[in-house]
Structure 1
Amino acid sequence: MSTPRPLPAVSRRRFLGQLSAAGALALAPRAALAIAAPKKLGVALVGLGGYSAGQLGPALKITEHCRLAGVVTGSPEKGRKWAADYGFPETSIYGYDTMAKMADNPDIDIVYVVTPNGLHAEHSIAAARAGKHVICEKPMANTVAECDAIMAACQQAGVRLGMGYRLHYDPFHEELRRLVRTQEFGPFMNMNGGFAFTMGRHQWRAQKALAGGGPLMDLGVYVIQETFMAAGAAPAVAITARELPKARPEFFVDVEESIEWTMEFANGAKGQGYTSYNSNRNDFRAEAKGGWFEVGPAYSYRGLRAATSKGPVTVTPPASQQALQMDAFALHVRDGAPNLVPGAMGRRDMVVVEAIYASAAAGGKRVELKF
């Protein structure tokens, strides 16, 4: 049998060093060895209607940076079911009149307000006063004055404010913004978009006190958003609008059934918009000297398709626009990432909405925009 050869000096030193390091690791506490994963922020949903149940709740099961940590509801029974389904304690179920108690719940970092439009200001301000960051579903509120109150409350409480503008995180709409940034086709000078569906049953969206208006508040905001995306940095300067005759005046008693408008920009660009609760549209097109962009369906949760004058836009649709949106806000809160949809954007859009209603009420008079 051959005699083992001694290790070279360098190898021996390396071996002894490794053995010493291994011993130190063995003695080190397990907690010190683990690389802490970034905290998933806790989200509480305020209002458990169709959008929370069908979109936001499921999205929070696949988000990477946030999770559902509580709910605010008028139905304790419904709250308990959500707690069981999503694995948060029943102590994180609140009523609309007990939102202030969330201040004592460290598991909740963000409150997402998903109640009817007329309640957005009340619930967003309550969340801010409880020290929670706020996502406010669109439209931000019924009036610009209410938007100002929400923003002031968040500023006073030192919390972040974002809007529920999911399309800013959709890759088809990102292609439009890319074209605006690169000016590949030049500035878009003519934009046209519409979003409409036939409302088959009476609901809060046809009640002015809760909705603030008709389809303009619910659907038209998407068209306004898209027009601003296509216009880029060009400031909007004026609005002309008209309300269309009602086919079902007994149904749409105190809100518009259909309305159309033109938005003018400082560089001469114009955006035509249309919305209705008694027809069907879901499209947007932007034209520049060097080419065009169009998307349709444009505003849906899924199934979007887009093309440019160069051909179809081929991107991978996200599993959930809402998951991307909420993750982005969580990163904004936790890590200081940019907020693509700040409260100021929601206020801007309400300035336009108020101008559209004012112009329509004045028979199509041109209304200058004052932001």
Structure 2
Amino acid sequence: MADHNPLLVTRRNFLLTGATALASTLTLPDVLAKAGQKKSLGVALVGLGYYSTDLLAPALQLTKNCHLAGIVTGTPEKARVWKEKYGLEDKNIYNYQNFDSIKGNPDIDIVYVVLPPSMHREFVIRAARAGKHVFCEKPMALTSKDCEDMIRACKEANVALAIGYRCQHDPNTREVLSIAKEQKLGKVKLISVAASYTESRKGHWKMQKSVGGGSMYDMGVYALQGARLAAGEEPVSVTAQSVVNRPEIFNEADEMMMFQLKFPSGAIASCMGGHGANANYLKVSYEKGTLFMEPFSAYKGNKGSSTLGAIDYPIENQQARQMDEDALAIMEKKPLLVPGEEGLRDIRIVEAIYKAVKTGGSVKL
């Protein structure tokens, strides 16, 4: 897919000519370095769970525009392991109590919040007040009010806020969005999307509703994103049903969330986000054809086809692509591909979905 969006380019070449008639092609980091600016932004990961340990830290070894510079953890043993593994300096290792002192650290340009959703608001705002740009994992927060507070804090501090929707940086997802936006197959009529895996860890925070657990906040947001992007417009109403098949594990949070979206054009989406089944697909019916992707929101290997042809654009690493593009946008002072406002849009719909479950009726958006 030919995509000319500047946010989807991770390296740029600049042709420089001088009085000596010497021409040379340099990358953006080289140009920034010559101008006395940083050629790579330092990232501090806040929270060292699975996603940071197994995905983000390895991805940061592949990035060009940013690098792992620090960590924030409440576990001294993790700090020791990460220090040795990644050669981190003591001055770039923080805990949750002394986190605010990161303000005076020039090594850290970006704080990536990778904590349970209930903690996102606090640490995004603290990072913003420390003058650091912010990457925040999805879901953005538990409530739209929290999202609004986070957006406001970052704007007041004049720092960037990007939400970790890695799939929006995946060229396969960009193709789905392009087909919808440009109506290459006519108007969208029907969408079916599912994002689910089987979660069985008793006591994990994903089963604790108060900290952001539940299938809707976790996997349901992927299904919601898939439907919104495939439709190319925002829904106007929602109905929903929560399902719990294993109450011994999911005794407070939803195990499966089924929800239906209606769009202004008349398109309808049937969506599922779950912790009780294995499914990851997106199917779209248009006026002039169809699209099917499986998987559509995996960490790698997203692919499918449409009436127009194959949708199979290899990508080395989603997380590296996401962080590189966001860091590049910050350095170039250009709009982020997925700003805080996008996370807020999803959480407003998530709130409506839970309201629809409670009332048993349709909720207007």
Once residues 38 and 181 of structure 1 are traced to their aligned partners in structure 2, the CA distance between those partners, rounded to angstroms, is: 36
Per-residue CA distance 1:245-265 (angstroms, 9 max, x = gap): x22112111111112111111
Do the aligned residues in 1 keep the contact of 2:65 with 2:328 (CA within 8 Å)? yes
1:67-110 deviation line (CA, Å, top 9, x unaligned): 01100001123123222322331110001111110001011010
Match status 1:58 vs 2:58: yes
- Whether the 8 Å CA contact 1:109–1:132 is kept in 2: the answer is yes
Match of 2:254 in 1: 256
Kept after mapping to 2: 8 A contact 1:80/1:90 = no
Aligned match of 2:208: 207
Residues 302, 312 of structure 2: 8 Å contact kept = no
**Structure 1 Cα separation of the partners of residues 312 and 143 of structure 2:** 39
Partner of 1:241: 240
SS at match of 1:184: coil
TM-score by length of 1: 0.86
Work out the CA distance in 1 between the residues paired with 2:85 and 2:282.
38
CA contact (8 A) 1:80 1:93 kept: no
Q: Which residue of 2 aligns with 1:115?
A: 115
% identical aligned pairs: 41
Counterpart residue identity of residue 280, structure 2: N
Write the distance in 1 (CA, Å) between the matches of 2:182 and 2:256: 35
Deviation track 1:211-267 (CA, whole Å, cap 9, x = no partner) reads 2x41110001011111111121x33211111112x2211211111111211111111
CA distance, structure 2, for counterparts of residue 258 and residue 323 of structure 1? 30
Corresponding residue for 2:322? 325
RMSD: 1.5
Q: 2:364 aligns with which of 357, 360, 368?
A: 368
* Cα distance in 2 for residues equivalent to 1:55 and 1:62: 11
Q: Is the 8 A contact 2:200 2:249 kept in 1?
A: no
Q: Does 1:352 align with 2:355?
A: no
Task: Render the CA deviation track for 1:150-200: whole Å, top value 9, x for unaligned.
Answer: 112111211110100000111211111221233210122211101111112
Shift of 1:38: 5.5
TM-score normalised by L of structure 2: 0.88
| Larger CA deviation: 92-101 vs 235-244 | 235-244
Tell me the secondary structure at the aligned position of residue 236 of structure 1.
coil
Q: Distance in 2 between matches of 1:207 and 1:359?
A: 20
Deviating above 4 A after TM superposition, structure 1's stretches of 4 or more consecutive aligned residues are 34-38
Secondary structure in structure 1 of the residue aligned to 2:228: helix
Equivalent residues in 2 for 1:10-159, closer than 5 Å = 35=34, 39-159=39-159
SS in 1 for 2:299: coil
Distance 1:182 1:38 in 2: 38
The counterpart of 2:275, out of the listed 254, 270, 277, is 277
1:118-142: CA deviation from partner (whole Å, max 9, x where unpaired): 1111111111111101111000011
In the TM superposition, residue 35 of structure 1 has moved relative to its aligned partner by: 4.7
Contact 1:284–1:296 under 8 Å retained in 2? yes
Looking at structure 2, the residues matched to 235 and 278 of structure 1 have their Cα atoms a distance apart, in angstroms, of 28
Distance in 2 between the 1:273 and 1:210 partners?
24
* Greater Rg by CA: 1
- What is the CA-CA distance between 1:286 and the residue it aligns to? 1.4
Cα distance in 2 between the residues matched to 1:147 and 1:194: 25
**Which range moved further: 177-186 or 125-134?**
177-186
**1:329 maps to amino acid:** D
Q: Deviations over 1:310-356 (max 9, x none)?
A: 332232x2111000100111012111233110100001100010100
Looking at structure 2, the residues matched to 314 and 218 of structure 1 have their Cα atoms a distance apart, in angstroms, of: 26
What is the CA–CA distance in structure 1 between the aligned matches of 2:49 and 2:93, rounded to whole Å? 15
The question of whether the paired residues in 1 share the 8 Å contact of 2:222 and 2:273 is answered with: no
Distance 1:333 1:76 in 2: 32
Question: In structure 1, how many angstroms separate the alpha carbons of the residues matched to 2:290 and 2:87?
Answer: 47
SS in 1 for 2:269: strand
How far, CA to CA, are the matches of 2:237 and 2:312 in structure 1? Answer: 35
SS of the equivalent of 1:128 reads helix
> Which of 266, 269, 276 pairs up with 1:268?
266
Matches within 5 A, 1:171-320: 171-202=171-202, 203-211=204-212, 213-232=213-232, 234-244=233-243, 246-315=244-313, 317-320=314-317
Match of 2:236, SS state, is strand
Q: Helix, strand or coil for the counterpart of 2:276? A: coil
Instruction: Give the letter for the 2:247 counterpart.
Output: P
Q: 2: CA distance between counterparts of 1:69 and 1:162?
A: 18
| Bigger mean CA deviation after superposition, 296-305 or 80-89 | 80-89
| Structure 1: distance between partners of 2:228 and 2:68 | 32
